[in-house]
Amino acid sequence: MGDKADVWQGTLALMILKTLETLGPLHGYGIARRIEQISGDLLSVNYGTLYPALLKLEQEACIESEWGVSDNNRKAKYYKLTRAGRKQLEREARDWQQAQAILAKFFAATEPST
């Protein structure tokens, strides 16, 4: 379980940060829905796992939270990207793209021999 959770945790954090960058301040439910919409049905995870990840990002000062009121007048906790979070997102996105590019090259190089 450990490995899978780590990968999920890492990518989940990145998805959260990207969502907040795109949509601005949002509550947990909204973030969950957004991730689900973007990924289609490929990612179907319990919404609950989102909250520890949000807490961790908040502890790392990448995001901050505040209680607010939703469009339809519900009380909800809104998460917002911080400056540090924005930098973190840039860095992680770069890392991710790099890793992806390297892997892509690997696949491109090995395909002909199979």
Query: Which residues would be at the binding site for another protein (CB under 8 A)?
Result: 27-30, 32-33, 46-49, 51-52, 55-56, 58-62, 70, 72, 74-77, 84, 87-88
Is the CB of 16 or the CB of 62 nearer to another protein?
62
Tell me the C-alpha to C-alpha distance, in Å, between residue 2 and each of 5, 6, 7, 48, 52: 5, 6, 9, 17, 15
- Least distance in angstroms from the C-beta of 95 to another protein: 12
Helix spans in 40-82 (H): 50-59
Is the CB of 21 or the CB of 82 nearer to another protein?
82
- Least distance in angstroms from the C-beta of 31 to another protein: 10
- Least distance in angstroms from the C-beta of 70 to another protein: 6
Is the CB of 51 or the CB of 106 nearer to another protein?
51
Strands 63-69 and 75-81: antiparallel
Contact 79, 36 (CB under 8 A): no
Is the CB of 59 or the CB of 113 nearer to another protein?
59
Tell me the C-alpha to C-alpha distance, in Å, between residue 10 and each of 13, 21, 35, 49: 5, 17, 14, 12
